[in-house]
């Protein structure tokens, strides 16, 4: 059974930091691209960034502006999203997702519909 489980969310003040984790199981981690997404109340889900487990290449959304950093530990099947300099507008449920883009020729993507598996999400709340 494929599972993605996020953890590490919480409540912080403006300027604070959090480290989100995503534990993957049930699929060959090295063949997948792992993406991070977020969804604020009343808004559409948006891509934060993604990392290719096969070659380590990354893509970040423009709004990240160097504040967030993704990393992975393929041996442990863990993905991490370091959130720094958090702002109230970063308040959202954060999700990790997995994409097998080998047959579709996709290596990096932040299009939610292209992802195959999703975690349940972890809440990040930033207060001013």
Contacts of 36 (CB under 8 A, 6+ apart): 20, 22, 47, 48, 49, 50, 68, 70, 79, 81, 94, 95, 96, 97
Evaluate if residue 74 carries a pLDDT over 90.
no
pLDDT surpasses 90 at 55: no
pLDDT top residue among 33 and 56: 33
Q: Is 113 exposed, middle or buried (0-12, 13-18, 19+ CB in 10 A)?
A: exposed
Check residue 25 and give its pLDDT.
93
Q: Which two tokens stand for residue 14?
A: 């403006």
* For range 110-115, the mean pLDDT: 96
The answer to whether residue 38 scores a pLDDT higher than 90 is yes
């Amino acid at each position: 059974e494929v599972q993605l489980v996020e953890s590490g969310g919480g409540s912080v003040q403006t300027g604070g930091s959090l480290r989100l984790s995503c534990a993957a199981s049930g699929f060959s981690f090295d063949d997948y691209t792992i993406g991070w997404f977020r969804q604020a109340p009343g808004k559409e889900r948006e891509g934060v960034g993604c990392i290719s487990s096969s070659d380590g290449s990354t893509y970040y959304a423009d709004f990240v502006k160097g504040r967030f950093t993704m990393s992975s530990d393929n041996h442990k099947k863990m993905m991490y999203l370091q959130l720094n300099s958090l702002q109230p507008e970063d308040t959202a449920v954060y999700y990790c997702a997995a994409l097998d883009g080998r047959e579709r020729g996709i290596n990096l993507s932040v299009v939610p519909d292209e992802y195959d598996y999703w975690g349940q999400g972890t809440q990040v709340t930033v207060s001013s």
